[in-house]
Structure 1
């Protein structure tokens, strides 16, 4: 059976914004907030541009709604990312080692905290903690592949 391989590799662009808050924990948390918040805002922009193209027009009312949605999504996902990065950093400092377990624990804590802030159902909080830990661990393993 014929086989083909890919020669070379994929790499993502690296964007760093240096904001010194005077504390490594705060620096990491703010960095996560800004990066993921920007991605979420960009997602909303792409969705809204698609909507404008589909409708064929834009109004000032639609533009204002789009801007509010962009800020809301950016703030929400940026906050979740900041909480996750903060937890992961804290777990790394407490454990004294840098490995995938920090991501798992940080993701689980983030899932639980974000879920607890939104609802009071214990089963939902536990399920969100499990999902957060699983997603963070999978992301960490994917980072090791690249």
Structure 2
């Protein structure tokens, strides 16, 4: 009798753990592809790469944290029908949180660019922005094609 309940629980646990691990592996694969793409697009020298990647990785991590924080704040409030339940004060508080996070993201990007200016040329910083956008666009395109196919 107990095995009827235990087996499905174990199955769900194993499935969710393997899904999480699969997600992490995919995330790492995408990150590796992004690193290779950016390195190629910027044509970094060995010296530039040694200085560039620690700055870039720190920026990328902090940016991901802020975006996650923003999404968590928003998603916690935006379940179906919950917007209508917000008081004006709660909505103002949520809006202020969102603005603060956006300001923090902007300040982070400004600091990132300033930090990079001592490492790579202004032209390569512009190329970096384009390379990131191109990579993200191509990634989304491939994801859409995979869903259709």
Q: Could you tell me the TM-score, scaled by structure 1's length?
A: 0.34
Using CA pairs below 8 Å that are at least 6 residues apart, which structure has the higher relative contact order?
A: 2
Q: Could you tell me the TM-score, scaled by structure 2's length?
A: 0.33
* Larger-Rg structure: 2
Return the structure number with greater helix share: 2
